[in-house]
Structure 1
Amino acid sequence: MNTYNCISWIIYSSINGSILVMGIFLLRHILKNRLQGTWNYYMWFLLIIRLISPYGFTKSFNLIFVMKNLLKNTYTKSSQGLVKTYFKGNNSGIRFNDMTKDYALSINKKIAYFNMDVLFSLWLIGAIIFFMIFIYTNIKSRKKYSSANVVKDNKILDIFKFCKEKTKVKSHLKLIKDDKIYSPMIYGIFKAYLILPERELKGLEEKDIRNIMLHEMVHYKSKDILVNIITTFIQIVHWFNPIIWIGFAKMRKDREIACDTKVLSYLESWEHKEYGETIIKLLRNYNNTRIETSFSVGFLHNRAYLKERINNIVSFKNRSKKRILVGSMAIFLLANVFLCDGKEKFNYLKDNIGRIPKNYEYEHVGKYFNGYEGTFVLYDMKNDKYHIYNESLSKKRVSPLSTFKIGISLVGLEEGIIKDENMIIPWNKEIYPFEEWNKDQNLKTAMKYSVNWYYEAVSSRIGHRTMKKYVDKMKYGNKFVSNNITRFWNESSLKISPIEQISFLRDFYAYKLPFSKENLDRVKEVIKVSKNNRGQLSGKTGTANVNNKNINGWFIGYVEKDDNTYFFATNINAIDKASGSAAKHITLSILKEKGIY
């Protein structure tokens, strides 16, 4: 994962987490006192899941998906609007490409101009600072508690043994005391200590000591220290987001109420009042200035939270079917709304497919990419070998642009929307700046001149659900078909890498795609470009013209020779002049040098 992907994931995750925190607060306000203390605590585990999981879990509805636009460029004008502007005398929105007929209308976007590397560096500095604080405080605490006094009082040890049996804590737990703390606590994971405040023991009765130990053993048995460590590391990652910190602060407070609730289930009803009195006794001398560590959980939090804890004790009731139902429904609702964003909807951040084929060799063809950042991938079918220039970009997903018109053609034919390559779709009477577009079109002319309105019409008739079905079956790139059915392939949701383009072309050529042989042959025929004494060249260009600049260009296809077939995919990008025509020129130069075409 590069710095762009890393910081994008962190920001996206942080936004999702923030909205989930607000959702939890809102739901709790609506339910008020209908939830038992433990359920309020369990809700926060959804926040942990949300912040450590890169994806959602189903294709369910998701309110927070609308926030993705904070990380993505947003469209401000449609190409139709630009055409109307052009004929009113302003032609700044139109770019004419060269004689290859690689026509493209400009898409205006709001682009966020900031350096992701700088942003990543700032985040990393903050994360390192918080991590060092975490290490320092825990090392200091470890040294302190490892040398504390072991409890030798037989009465206290008997209570300790009783509480272990009551809570069924079987693992070794060392009982120690410290005269510098005011609140009992559990410290450590692998070597755990139950630490008692030595100065407070003198004023406590046996029942108070029992209540304290039960509370701490419930913490220990519930693995609350482990949860504390996990949340601390999440806070380090999201150190810049105060909403996440507020959420986890509330979670720690709710953890104490949840712990109180579990302790009450071990006690008789007449003992509940005594448990509340124990909390009040300890709070009289409680000093809240101690440094919290991730490896400890304590009996008290602060005085301000006393009222809520006492109210929970007074209103305690054993679990009822109604409370369990309400709590389960609340968590299910939160999970379905805030966690289920669908793995596919996160794929726009996932630029890389991760792996390059093992059967490849590096191509030294950088001289042809002068002025462009780009990649060239060639697959030799006879020798089953890839030739790749610029491995990192060869696996980077970008918009397929007009190269996806191959896919649209196949779906249109298969669904009967396009009867055959000669079927005419009438011109929509919109005036376009390209003469070839301002007339009726069939599949052959629409592919040759890359006629956008033709493919927009076909896509509209196909519909979102059907298109999504075929894109999934084709395993095309990130397989993300947005609701904008006429533009999802053009600088929008659908993304594909050059290596994936090769895989698509190989399946297309070998009749392995979910289309009839007849329809595959029809599309093969209309993408034929030229022929010479070396072989037959087939392919399709694509250009991303954004804010009047050609920023991305594709040329994909294959060369059929007598004894072999070579598949290729070239992608280039630049501030300007990175068109499909330029990508085609680069490709033909490389193919000529290699003696392929």
Structure 2
Amino acid sequence: MTFPLRFLICNGFMALLLGAFLLLKKLFRRHMTIHTQYVLWWVFLFALALPFLPSRLIFPEWLLSWTGEGLLDGSVRVLSGAAASKARESAQALGITDYALAEAPAVNRGFFLALWGIWGAGMTAAAGYLFRSVRQIRRLRRNAFLITADTEPELYALYASCLGELGIRRKIRLYASCTLESPVSYGIFLPRILVPQDLDIQLSREEIRFIFLHELQHYRHRDALLNSLACLLQILYWFNPLIWYAFSLLRRDREIACDRAVLRAAGQEQRANYGYTLVKYAQKLGNGTFLSPLSGMSAEGKALKNRLSEIVDYRPDSLVRKIKSAGLFLLAAALVYAASPILGVRASDASASLSGLAWEEAGLSELFDGRTGSFVLYDTANNKYAVYNPSLGTKRVSPDSTYKIYSALFALESGVLAADDSTLAWDGTSQPYAAWERDQTLKSAMENSVNWYFQELDARMGLSALTDAFSEISYGNADLSGGISQYWAESSLKISPLEQTQLLAQLLDNAWGCAPKNIQAVKDALYLGEFLGGSLYGKTGTGSTAGQNTNGWFVGFLEKDGNTWTFAANLQAGGSDTAQAAATDDAARRGTSDDAARTGSSSASAARTGGSSDNARISGFAAAQIALEALEIYNSSAQVCAHAAQTVRT
């Protein structure tokens, strides 16, 4: 599922969070200081930013690459042409097929593009409005004149005394403008205060002091930064009226917090005088603060009444109230932290991490022959990894048909399927392959990657149970929001090659406490044959978008001499591969038969099964060829090392 749709769904959770946030403020209003009620908005802004923040900090992998000896490094030579050809023949000899092509539905692509377009158009319009506001501020600043000790000695002296009264050492420039009706402040790095040119004519010295104290409080509270973040988030959430409402409350609390700070500085006895000054200037700007980085004294209607009410009710904050405020602030922060997995919609596109693992980079570029992809090999006995292209080896992509390994396990564990009776009857519906048009067992369905078989298992389990199962084993992002029939097919569910190898190791180790007979049933379904003197198990997967192969998988494990190696090879379309993938798909769609697919006797069947690397550069079969060649390399390297060790011992 693409980001705009996830973001749209996330807005529903954001509405619930806003409701909880406002309820917290309402219930505990008398127990929180005004300043804490305002500072809480920083927590809410952080929550709004979560969908756009990385789900994990990325640490330099080289910090951990020193651990252990490498399994497979750049010094290992790639197989000779004859050996590589033998590995490709082995893939066919093992009966590796790749019938199922997981294709993202065209209707989804159009819908997602429409979402991108609508969201982008709204952001463009909102950004344009903000740009217009910024230009108006710059125009105000250019037309204003700087107030200094030379130009306005009395006014500047009063302003300087306010700076000293608040302990502000930074020189914040003060400007007067003939086109401005109410005082404002702005600027994160170069803070500025603008006041009307006739300020000293219309107001008394004490009233001017109130205004200066108010605007300087905006600087002390870092309101310019808050305003800028709010403007950015308003652009991103332009379509959500609840967020608009939240920002109107933020602006109200911002001004109330400044009013409170002014009274704390001026004294409680100045409440009436300050309230009169506020009424005199507050309504001059009206609603001009929408999508504006300005902070000012403007208010109207209910907001003005709230501010005056708070001024009348002003009392110094007690120590008990301050302690309660700190506790409630931590409670709100904990609420947002608890909701962060839901609000962080980028999690589905996040990467896995090699941090803390013993790994070395594998020199396998020749095997990929210019294709974009990765290979991860995990030596379970020594707990070491060999990784070709770490950036892609940790990147999550659609699992396509490789998800069927776990679909089968979940069905067995839930009782939907029995290990000793796994037959599902074909309902007679026409299928794209003859091999699918018959009753299927788990073994035959896995071997021929029969979509309808596993979709039926998923349907019997139900989306809720499946989601819980994928989450329990930490399968990639465990996102099944793409729908029960297609979440695995270039849709919402994503997993990295690294995670594939880790899950396979956990499967074999029965880390999830499954029934041993169910683990064995899955293993039997994945069994391909003898390879390199051991037993090879695996599953292919191919993904397609807009008729072009974009994703090729081969995952599995090799059991040999009491040890187990899990592996995952992945290919991604890029550059010339995209065009070649399209040719592959076209060739495959011109017609295949089950027999042809098994023997590779036609170009079409070769495209589907991977019999010709020219016609199927991005496919599950192509990924299988790479994986088998890599295993050949590792096996040869291990034999050399074992022979050298034996020589040393003798």
Quick check: TM above 0.5?
yes
Asked whether the 8 Å contact 1:104–1:545 carries over to 2, the reply is yes
**Partner residue, 1:488:** 487
* 1:318 is aligned to 2:313: yes
Structure 1 residues 184 and 108, CA, compared in 2 at 3 Å: closer, same or farther? closer
- Distance (whole Å) between structure 1 residues aligned to residue 353 and residue 427 of structure 2: 45
- 5 Å-filtered alignment, 1:197-596, equals 199-231=198-230, 234=233, 238=236, 252=251, 255-256=254-255, 259-260=258-259, 274-279=273-278, 281-282=280-281, 294=293, 297-299=295-297, 301=298, 305-307=299-301, 310-312=304-306, 318=313, 340=339, 342-343=341-342, 346-347=345-346, 349-353=348-352, 358-365=359-366, 368=369, 374-379=372-377, 381=379, 384-388=384-388, 390-420=389-419, 422-427=420-425, 429-433=427-431, 434-482=433-481, 484-532=483-531, 534-544=533-543, 550-562=549-561, 565=565, 567-573=567-573, 574-575=581-582, 577=585, 581-582=609-610, 583-590=619-626, 593=629, 595=632
Deviations 1:210-265 (A, max 9, x none): 43245335434543233234335656x75998988998688546644664476578
- 5 Å-filtered alignment, 1:71-86, equals none
- SS where residue 362 of structure 2 aligns? strand
- Distance (whole Å) between structure 1 residues aligned to residue 135 and residue 505 of structure 2: 53
Deviations 1:543-587 (A, max 9, x none): 335666654332211233447746232334444539883345434
- Distance (whole Å) between structure 2 residues aligned to residue 442 and residue 556 of structure 1: 21
Q: 1:417, CA displacement in angstroms?
A: 3.4
Asked whether the 8 Å contact 1:14–1:241 carries over to 2, the reply is no
Deviations 1:354-404 (A, max 9, x none): 6587412231235556xxx5424141627734141x544333322212211
- SS where residue 353 of structure 1 aligns? coil
Asked whether the 8 Å contact 1:179–1:197 carries over to 2, the reply is yes
TM-score (norm 1): 0.64
- Distance (whole Å) between structure 2 residues aligned to residue 310 and residue 588 of structure 1: 70
Partner amino acid, structure 1, of 2:468: K
Partner amino acid, structure 1, of 2:425: W
Partner amino acid, structure 2, of 1:558: F
* 1:54 is aligned to 2:40: no
Asked whether the 8 Å contact 2:376–2:387 carries over to 1, the reply is yes
Asked whether the 8 Å contact 2:568–2:627 carries over to 1, the reply is no
Aligned length: 528
Structure 1 residues 519 and 142, CA, compared in 2 at 3 Å: closer, same or farther? farther
Asked whether the 8 Å contact 1:426–1:439 carries over to 2, the reply is no
- Distance (whole Å) between structure 1 residues aligned to residue 129 and residue 184 of structure 2: 27
Structure 1 residues 427 and 145, CA, compared in 2 at 3 Å: closer, same or farther? farther
Q: 1:475, CA displacement in angstroms?
A: 1.9
Asked whether the 8 Å contact 2:367–2:626 carries over to 1, the reply is no
TM-score (norm 2): 0.60
Asked whether the 8 Å contact 2:98–2:540 carries over to 1, the reply is no
- SS where residue 441 of structure 1 aligns? coil
- SS where residue 365 of structure 1 aligns? helix
The range that moved more, 501-510 or 39-48, is 39-48
Asked whether the 8 Å contact 1:365–1:590 carries over to 2, the reply is no
Unaligned runs of 5+ in 1: 29-34, 59-97, 321-328
Structure 1 residues 10 and 170, CA, compared in 2 at 3 Å: closer, same or farther? farther
Asked whether the 8 Å contact 1:541–1:553 carries over to 2, the reply is yes
Q: 1:43, CA displacement in angstroms?
A: 8.7
- Distance (whole Å) between structure 2 residues aligned to residue 459 and residue 18 of structure 1: 27
Structure 1 residues 307 and 361, CA, compared in 2 at 3 Å: closer, same or farther? same
Asked whether the 8 Å contact 1:164–1:217 carries over to 2, the reply is no
- Distance (whole Å) between structure 1 residues aligned to residue 173 and residue 149 of structure 2: 6
Identity of aligned residues (%): 25
Partner amino acid, structure 2, of 1:552: N
Deviations 1:530-550 (A, max 9, x none): 225643221012233566665
- SS where residue 51 of structure 2 aligns? coil
Asked whether the 8 Å contact 1:13–1:51 carries over to 2, the reply is no
- Distance (whole Å) between structure 1 residues aligned to residue 119 and residue 367 of structure 2: 29
1 or 2, which has the higher helix percentage?
2
Higher relative contact order (CA 8 A, sep 6+): 2
Partner amino acid, structure 2, of 1:569: A
**Partner residue, 2:148:** 148
